[in-house]
Structure formats: structure tokens, C-alpha cells
């Protein structure tokens, strides 16, 4: 990838599913002249997705509880390790205990400290007219806001500054689209004949469910 064509916005980071880490899958984000480039890679392949500034409708930053969950897990490990060290003090030399403590500090205390220094965790979603795409490399609120602040002027320049009325209309459309997507997700899809809803002429106006021929 030519350096003069793209600038790195995030380094390559492992992709996560909830609090789980997909070690073989990584994602990064790059800044092009008129678009963002997302690169998803694993050990064998790379996938490229471009999002042109003129097509971006919204970038959503949603806080998650991933940092709190990791804090809890690491604290439990640290407490267990400390209890083991206290027990070891009664039966092994102090030098060996110091080695055990150093190991605990490297593998538990340092990740615990880093997890809190990096700040709250988040999930970032980019919306266009045809898709909603997660940006896994933006997994911390501080980093996500920094990147969004950097690309916001480029999006405004590509689309033009919106008036308050236009912003209100677009927000209404986004809310409506989100509600429709949520309704679609709640529908139960089962294999077999297609079920369709047919209106009836009774005063009650209650629908009937019929089977639409294939």
C-alpha cells in the first residue's frame, strides 16, 4: 500500500466478539484522499472495504462493558496469585517468591493497568445508505473520538455543511431505519412455506395469516 495514497488511522488490532478475542483475525483503518479503507485480515487472506466520505451518514460510538469485565477477570487472577504467594512464603525461600511475584506483575498487573489507562471500551459502527459496518480497530472511546474528530471535516467537505432542518430530517430517517431494522430482527424466520399477512373486510380489521404459494 503506497504511503502517499493512504495514511494509517489505527494500527492492526485483533478483532473481538464480545469479550472474546479472535487471535487470527485483525483489522485496521486507513485514511485515503476521499474515503476510509478498512482492512480485515487473517493468516491467509485480506479483505478491503472502502467507505467514501460522500456516502457516510453516521458514525456511532457505543460504550461497552468490556473493560469492566476484563478488570473483574484480571482482579480475580491477581487475588488468586497473591493468595498463592502468601502460602508460598511459608514454605519456599524469599528469592523464589520474588520471582513468582514478578511473574504475576508481568502477566496480570500490567494488563490490568493498561486496560484502565486506555479508558472505556466501545464499539464503533459506520452507517451508509446500504450497510452498517463495525470498525473493530476503534475499540476505545478516546481513540474513536480522536479518529472521528479527524475525519469529520473531510466528511463535511465532501457532503457540504447541513442546516439544522436537514440534520433533523436525516436524524428522523436514521431513527426510523433503526426501528425498522430492530423489528426485522425480532421476526421469527423458519424454513417452509412463506407466511404472509392478508387484511380482511371484517369491522375488527384483524389480520389473517395465510400461506402464500411459492
Q: Contact at 8 Å (CB) between 64 and 121?
A: yes
Q: How far apart are CA 96 and CA 93, in angstroms?
A: 6
30-34, 156-160, 175-179: which is most confident: 30-34
Helix (H) or strand (E) holding 150, with range, is: helix 141-159
pLDDT of residue 16: 60
pLDDT of residue 109: 81
Q: Is the pLDDT of residue 33 over 70?
A: yes
Q: How do residues 9-26 score in pLDDT, each as one tens digit? A: 988 877 665 444 555 688
What's the predicted TM-score (pTM) here? Answer: 0.64
Burial (Cβ within 10 Å: 0-12, 13-18, ≥19) of residue 130: exposed
Note the Cα 54 to chain centre separation in Å. 22
Mean pLDDT, the chain, whole residue set? 76
Using only C-alpha atoms, the chain has a radius of gyration, in whole angstroms, of 25
Amino acid at each position: 500500500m503506497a504511503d502517499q495514497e493512504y495514511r494509517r488511522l489505527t494500527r492492526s488490532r485483533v478483532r473481538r466478539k464480545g469479550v472474546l478475542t479472535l487471535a487470527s483475525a485483525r483489522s485496521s483503518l486507513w485514511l485515503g484522499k476521499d474515503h476510509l479503507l478498512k482492512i480485515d485480515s487473517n493468516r491467509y487472506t485480506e479483505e478491503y472495504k472502502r467507505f467514501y466520505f460522500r456516502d457516510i451518514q453516521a458514525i456511532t460510538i457505543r460504550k461497552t462493558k468490556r473493560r469492566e469485565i476484563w478488570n473483574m477477570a484480571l482482579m480475580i487472577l491477581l487475588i488468586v496469585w497473591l493468595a498463592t504467594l502468601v502460602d508460598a512464603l511459608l514454605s519456599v525461600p524469599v528469592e523464589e517468591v520474588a520471582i513468582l511475584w514478578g511473574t504475576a506483575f508481568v502477566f496480570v498487573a500490567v494488563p490490568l493497568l493498561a486496560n484502565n489507562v486506555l479508558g472505556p471500551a466501545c464499539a464503533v459502527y459506520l452507517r451508509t445508505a446500504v450497510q452498517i459496518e463495525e470498525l473493530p480497530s476503534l475499540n476505545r472511546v478516546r481513540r474513536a473520538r480522536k479518529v472521528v474528530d479527524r475525519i469529520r471535516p473531510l466528511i463535511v467537505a465532501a457532503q457540504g455543511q447541513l442546516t439544522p432542518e436537514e440534520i433533523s430530517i436525516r436524524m428522523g430517517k436514521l431513527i426510523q431505519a433503526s426501528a425498522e431494522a430492530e423489528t426485522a430482527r425480532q421476526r421469527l424466520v423458519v424454513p417452509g412455506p412463506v407466511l404472509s399477512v392478508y387484511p380482511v373486510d371484517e369491522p375488527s380489521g384483524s389480520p389473517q395469516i395465510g400461506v402464500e404459494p411459492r
